[in-house]
């Protein structure tokens, strides 16, 4: 059993980074996630594990510092909240285009624009459809507890290095600020230089030794035929990710007639809504996507022929609902798919979710 | 006499650094970039730091710097090279990291990144090619374009009322306590090439000695963008650029420690 602590989601992100052997964090303050860098500065991991922590001049700089560190094979990360992630999208596109591993955490707040500092899930499209320019994807993990905030830091890095692709943890201000019991992992030492060369020596900027060709980390290719080949290689990688990395949780789906689909904070609310609905005799289950990209399409397609409907519950105007519809369409079904959500930093209440189930599927 | 009688080791007066890669030259004849690339390659060779040097190429004509010098490279987004270099240098303190940037890259879109990297005193070399124009995109106005200088986006010459003044980045950079060595050079004559090489070498030596940011501006020609002959561009640079961008050292902490308490 690892060390147990009562911690905030944001603090846990920092703690998990240090414990999983992260090499560097670069960030810029923004509510509701500033505790990530504050915790790191307080912990001074440069004195213990040797992890670099630097406050950058902007999110544009943070993500480019991550790009630099990641190119040399380091485990580098940044965190921000919605407006800051928008600023990072150019850099994220470069990182994806140069096929580098890294971790970006988005502790979402309500938008658009400066919006609000309250929790939101309205950056779903930005996270799972690419966000920046060009055909790329982010491996996107959606924690639903402080424990998962901890666990997914390591998982996100592992997947990023496995596929040489940036990973994102898409969470929100509620999970960032919420305190829960968490079991902390033991410390994994940072990789040695030799270990980094073992793992990344075929591509990283570790210094051109006489035994090998120079390494050039770039997303540029002026020959469009070669650029198309690069894109085809990226698409193969994404197919591979879709085939192998889907993660989700199915809760009470066995006898369910209606399925809620919700991630992160809204999935927690939906669990309460299931209890309330079942008390009323409505057989409801929940699919909780853990990976938003790759989306758990197959399980939704599998459920589609035998359930009466899906309700996508999101803290947005309805973004993930499009992926639920696509999954149902892929199953060649006409099962109704509806959305319920609150916006602008408001959390839906469990009763509102039950009301939405009743009004959209039962009282017609 | 046959040419092969002449090509003999004892007749060798000039040799290309082994770090210079044989590749198709994409720079225009007369461009300063090629000369500076050669200097950088020679310096890395002479200092014996090929295995430890990571170059960061910009967006601009020098985006392809990585095709010319045989070291590990990373290509940065437009203006972001100093942030990328920060990421490399902070996580690899034993490496010698340099950025190579044009004036659009460094003085316009990347003004924020260069100021903050220099202000933090990142242990990096910055090579700043100031040709007063956007070369790669076809000769548009840069922050460094001279008053009255015609470009494709200032066809009647840079107008202060519309576009403000030429930006003297190197003077601004020299005011930052984080910088250790700040100098302005050129490469339009054999003598200035030699001087410039000394300056860039010193910048690399400073970084090897972990002294902090060393910044070398090279006032350069872009005869294609300026629509001049290579020789005409050199003359125009001397007559028009040098009065605005005066060559010489702006700061050298080896010689003059900055006065304390000001
Ligand atoms: C974000 C972004 N904006 C604009 C461009 C287009 N662009 C490419 S190079 C360049 C100007 C480069 O000029 P400079 O830095 O002076 O370098 P030079 O080509 O003169 O050496 C611009 C604007 C780009 N690639 N990316």
From the CB of B142, is ligand 1 less than 6 Å away? yes
Answer whether A64 sits within 8 Å of B73, measured CB to CB. no
Judge whether A3-193 and A248-362 match in fold: yes
Rounded CA gap, B154 and B133, in Å? Answer: 11
**pLDDT confidence tier of residue B256, bands split at 50, 70 and 90:** low
- Ligand 1 atom, smallest distance to B225 CA: 20
State residue B259's pLDDT score: 54
Rounded CA gap, A253 and A250, in Å? Answer: 6
Residues A218, A98 contacting (CB under 8 angstroms)? yes
> Locate tokens 């640079």: which residue?
B237
State residue B200's pLDDT score: 98
State residue A95's pLDDT score: 98
Q: Which two tokens stand for residue A299?
A: 């399980």
Per-residue H/E/C for chain B: CCHHHHCCHHHCCCCCCCCECCCCCCCCCCCCHHHHHHHHHHHHHHHCCHHHEEEEECCCHHHHHHHCECCEEEECCCCCHHHHHHHHHHHCCCCEEEEEEEHHHHHHHCHHHHHHHHHHCCCEEEEEEECCEECCCCCEECCCCCECCCECCECCCECHHHHCCCCCHHHHHHCCCCEEEEEEEECCCHHHHHHHHHHHHHHHHHHHCCCCEEEEEEECCCHHHHCCCHHHHHHHHHHHHHHHCCCEEEEECCCCCCCCCC
From the CB of B105, is ligand 1 less than 6 Å away? yes
Q: Residue B73 is nearest to which of A54, A216, A219, comparing CB atoms?
A: A216
Q: Residue A214 is nearest to which of B56, B73, B92, comparing CB atoms?
A: B73
* CATH class held by domain B14-252: alpha beta
Residues of B with CB under 8 A from a CB of A: 50-54, 56-57, 63, 66, 70-77, 80, 83-92, 95, 112-113, 116
Q: How are beta strands B96-102 and B124-130 bridged, if at all?
A: parallel
Answer whether A216 sits within 8 Å of B74, measured CB to CB. yes
Answer whether B84 sits within 8 Å of A205, measured CB to CB. no
> Locate tokens 């409505």: which residue?
A282
Q: Which two tokens stand for residue B99?
A: 């950025």
**pLDDT confidence tier of residue B261, bands split at 50, 70 and 90:** very low
**pLDDT confidence tier of residue B257, bands split at 50, 70 and 90:** low
From the CB of B153, is ligand 1 less than 6 Å away? no
B214-243 pLDDT tens trace:
999 999 999 999 999 999 999 999 999 999
Q: Is A282 helix (H, G, I), strand (E, B) or coil?
A: coil
From the CB of B163, is ligand 1 less than 6 Å away? no
State residue B1's pLDDT score: 78
- Compute CA distances A242 → A95, A137, A237, A292, whole Å: 20, 11, 9, 11
Judging contacts by C-beta atoms under 8 Å, the chain A residues touching residue B83 are: 56, 60-62, 64-65, 67-68
As a whole number, mean pLDDT of residues B163-191 equals 98
Supply the ipTM of this predicted assembly: 0.96
From the CB of B132, is ligand 1 less than 6 Å away? no
Which of B31, B60, B107 is the pocket-test mutation for ligand 1 (most atoms within 8 Å of CB)?
Answer: B60
Whether residue A338 is preceded by a cis peptide bond, meaning omega within 30 degrees of 0, is no
Which chain A residue has the Cα nearest residue B112?
A57
Q: How are beta strands A248-251 and A258-261 bridged, if at all?
A: unpaired
* CATH class held by domain A3-193: alpha beta
One-character DSSP codes across A257-270? SEEEE--HHHHHHH
State residue A159's pLDDT score: 98
State residue A364's pLDDT score: 64
Rounded CA gap, A37 and B21, in Å? Answer: 43
Question: Can you name the residues that pair with B55 across neighbouring β-strands?
Answer: B73, B98
Taking Cα atoms as reference points, which of A283, A292, A284 lies closest to residue A314?
A: A292
Rounded CA gap, A18 and A11, in Å? Answer: 11
How far is the centre of ligand 1, averaged over its atoms, from the C-alpha of B142 (Å)? 10
* CATH class held by domain A248-362: alpha beta
Which of B31, B128, B135 is the pocket-test mutation for ligand 1 (most atoms within 8 Å of CB)?
Answer: B135
State residue B211's pLDDT score: 97
HSE of A66 in the Cβ direction (CA atoms, 13 Å)?
A: 38
How far is the centre of ligand 1, averaged over its atoms, from the C-alpha of B53 (Å)? 25
How close A221 comes to chain B (CA, Å)?
10
Q: Which residues of chain A have pLDDT under 70?
A: 364
In the predicted structure, residue B194 carries a pLDDT above the cut 50: yes
From the CB of B136, is ligand 1 less than 6 Å away? yes
In the predicted structure, residue B260 carries a pLDDT above the cut 60: no
In the predicted structure, residue B258 carries a pLDDT above the cut 80: no
> Locate tokens 């939906």: which residue?
A270
Rounded CA gap, A215 and A197, in Å? Answer: 13
Q: Is A86 helix (H, G, I), strand (E, B) or coil?
A: helix
Residue ranges per structural domain of chain A: 3-193, 248-362
State residue A1's pLDDT score: 78
Answer whether B92 sits within 8 Å of A219, measured CB to CB. no
Burial A180-201 (b: 16+ CB within 10 A, else e): bebebbeeeebbeeeebbeebe
Answer whether A218 sits within 8 Å of B85, measured CB to CB. no
In the predicted structure, residue B122 carries a pLDDT above the cut 70: yes
- Compute CA distances B85 → A273, A315, B99, B170, whole Å: 50, 38, 7, 19
Q: Which two tokens stand for residue A312?
A: 């996508």
List of residues 6+ apart from A24 with CB closer than 8 A: A51, A52, A53, A54, A65, A66, A69, A74, A75, A76, A77, B87, B90, B91
The number of C-beta contacts closer than 8 angstroms across A and B is 125
As a whole number, mean pLDDT of residues B71-75 equals 98
State residue A363's pLDDT score: 79
**pLDDT confidence tier of residue B262, bands split at 50, 70 and 90:** very low
Answer whether B75 sits within 8 Å of A214, measured CB to CB. no
């Amino acid at each position: 059993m690892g060390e147990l602590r009562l911690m905030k989601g944001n603090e846990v992100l920092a703690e998990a980074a240090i414990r999983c052997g992260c090499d560097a964090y670069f960030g810029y303050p923004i509510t509701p996630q500033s505790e990530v860098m504050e915790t790191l500065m307080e912990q001074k991991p440069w004195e213990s594990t040797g992890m670099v922590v630097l406050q950058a001049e902007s999110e544009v700089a943070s993500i480019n510092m991550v790009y630099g560190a990641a190119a040399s094979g380091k485990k580098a990360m940044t965190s921000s909240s919605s407006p800051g992630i928008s600023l990072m999208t150019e850099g994220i596109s470069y990182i994806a285009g140069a096929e580098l591993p890294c971790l970006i955490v988005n502790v979402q707040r309500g938008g658009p624009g400066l919006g609000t500092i309250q929790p939101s899930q309205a950056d779903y499209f930005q996270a799972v459809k690419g966000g920046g320019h060009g055909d790329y994807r982010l491996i996107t993990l959606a924690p639903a507890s402080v424990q998962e905030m901890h666990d997914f830091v390591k998982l996100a890095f592992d997947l990023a290095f496995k596929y040489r692709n940036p990973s994102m943890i898409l969470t929100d201000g509620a999970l960032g600020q919420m305190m829960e019991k968490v079991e902390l992992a033991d410390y994994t030492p940072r990789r040695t230089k030799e270990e980094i060369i073992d793992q990344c020596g075929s591509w990283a900027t570790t210094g051109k030794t006489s035994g090998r060709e120079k390494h050039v980390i770039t997303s540029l290719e002026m020959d469009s035929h070669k650029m198309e080949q690069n894109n085809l290689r990226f698409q193969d990688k994404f197919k591979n990710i879709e085939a192998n990395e889907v993660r989700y949780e199915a809760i009470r789906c066995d006898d369910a007639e209606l399925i809620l689909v919700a991630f992160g904070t809204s999935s927690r609310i939906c669990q309460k809504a299931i209890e309330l609905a079942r008390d009323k005799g409505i057989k409801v289950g929940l699919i909780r996507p853990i990976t938003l990209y790759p989306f758990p399409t197959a399980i939704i397609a599998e459920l589609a022929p035998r359930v009466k409907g899906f309700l996508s519950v999101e803290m947005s105007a309805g973004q993930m609902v499009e992926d639920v519809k696509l999954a149902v369409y892929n199953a060649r079904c006409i099962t109704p798919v509806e959305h319920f959500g609150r916006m602008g930093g408001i959390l839906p209440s469990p009763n509102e979710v039950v009301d939405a189930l009743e009004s959209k599927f039962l009282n017609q | 006499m046959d040419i092969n009688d002449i090509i003999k080791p004892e007749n060798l007066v000039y040799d290309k650094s082994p770090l210079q890669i044989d590749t198709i030259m994409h720079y225009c004849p007369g461009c300063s970039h090629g000369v500076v690339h050669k200097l950088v390659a020679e310096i890395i060779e002479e200092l014996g730091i090929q295995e430890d040097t990571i170059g960061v190429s910009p967006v601009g004509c020098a985006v392809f710097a990585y095709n010319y010098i045989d070291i590990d490279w990373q290509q940065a987004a437009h203006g972001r090279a100093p942030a990328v270099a920060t990421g490399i240098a902070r996580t690899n303190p034993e490496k010698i990291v340099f950025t190579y940037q044009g004036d659009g890259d460094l003085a316009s879109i990347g003004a924020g990144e260069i100021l903050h990297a220099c202000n933090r005193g990142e242990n990096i070399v910055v090579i700043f090619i100031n040709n007063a124009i956007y070369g790669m995109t076809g000769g548009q106005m840069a922050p460094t374009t001279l008053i009255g200088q015609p470009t494709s986006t200032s066809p009647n010459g840079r107008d202060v009322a519309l576009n403000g003044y030429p930006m003297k980045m190197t003077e601004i950079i020299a005011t930052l306590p984080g910088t250790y060595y700040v100098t302005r050079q050129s490469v339009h004559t054999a003598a200035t090439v030699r001087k410039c090489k000394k300056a860039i070498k010193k910048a690399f030596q400073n970084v090897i000695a972990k002294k902090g940011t060393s910044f070398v501006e090279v006032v350069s020609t872009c005869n294609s963008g300026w629509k001049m002959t290579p020789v005409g561009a050199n003359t125009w640079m001397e007559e028009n650029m040098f009065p605005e961008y005066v060559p010489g050292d702006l700061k050298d902490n080896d010689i003059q420690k900055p006065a304390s308490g000001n």
